[in-house]
Structure 1
Amino acid sequence: MDLSLKGKVAVVTGGSMGIGRAITEALAAEGVRVAIVARSAGPLEETARAITEKTGVEILAAPADVSDTAQVTAMMDRVAAHFGRIDILVNGAAHPGGLVRSQIEEADPEGLLKDIDIKVVGYMRCAKAAAAHMKAGGYGRIINIGGLTGRGSKQLSGMRNVAICHMTKALSDQLGPHGITVNVIHPGVVETPHIHELYAKEAKLQGLTPAEVEANYAKVTPIRRVLQPNEIADVALFLASPRAAAITGESIAVDGGITRGIFL
Structure 2
Amino acid sequence: MLYLFATFVVLLLLVAGTRGLTLLFGLGINVISVVALLILIADGFNILITTGVIALIILVVAIFMNVENSQTASTAFTTSILIMIVILLLTIPLEYWASAQGMGAENQDELEAFSLAAGISFPQLAIAIIVINSLGVISETSVAITSGLNEIVLNKPTLTPKEIFDDGFSVGNKILNTQTNTLLFNFFSATFPLLFLIHSLGYKFGDILNDKLLVAEILTTLICTIGVILTVPITSYLVYRKKK
User: TM-score normalised to the size of structure 1?
Assistant: 0.28
Q: Identify the structure with the greater strand proportion.
A: 1
Q: Identify the structure with the greater helix proportion.
A: 2
| More relative contact order, 1 or 2 (CA 8 Å, 6+ apart) | 2
